Amino acid sequence: MIRPFSLSDLDAILKIEQESFPKSPYDRMTFIELHSFCPETFLVYTETSADQRNQVWGYIIFIPEGRIISIAVLPSQRRKGIGKELLQKAMEIPDLKRLQVEVRRSNLGAQVFYSHLGFEKIGISKNYYGNEDAIIMQWIPIS
């Protein structure tokens, strides 16, 4: 189930963040600030089975103007369609003209993931991640 983030999800989000981005994870304060900046578009994926109720397995933060700030899924829950569901939720925004994301040049798995969902490489941002470039990818909805 996809639902809006609440502050009670913060510890789970921090765990996902640290396991997904060990080189440069966002900290607690960053997530609190992002939630205050874009509360309607900070979404979490939770398991709905009785034994896993309210277990947060993934999240996405995006701005309606068309930029993904962050998306991550708990490593143990990857390749189950969770990331795809979260991203498709962002793609459903009415009047969305485009959706962009930056991906580490070394993160080939993420590049393939976005490509399979219709994103195309449109540029490079030099040293975006300190000493590593970012590939800029973009999706444009079909009218």
For the segment 111-134, the average pLDDT, to the nearest whole number, is 96
Fold of the 97-143 domain:
Alpha-Beta Plaits (3.30.70)
Q: Per-residue confidence at 96, pLDDT binned at 50, 70, 90?
A: confident
Tens of pLDDT, residue by residue over 19-38, are: 999 988 999 999 999 999 98
Fold of the 1-94 domain:
Aminopeptidase (3.40.630)
Tens of pLDDT, residue by residue over 63-92, are: 988 999 999 999 999 999 999 999 999 999
Q: Per-residue confidence at 12, pLDDT binned at 50, 70, 90?
A: very high
State the chain's mean pLDDT as an integer.
93
User: Which residue ranges make up each domain of the chain?
Assistant: 1-94, 97-143
Contact yes or no for 45/1 (Cβ under 8 A): yes
Beta strands in 1-143 (DSSP E): 2-4, 42-46, 56-63, 67-73, 99-104, 120-125, 134-139
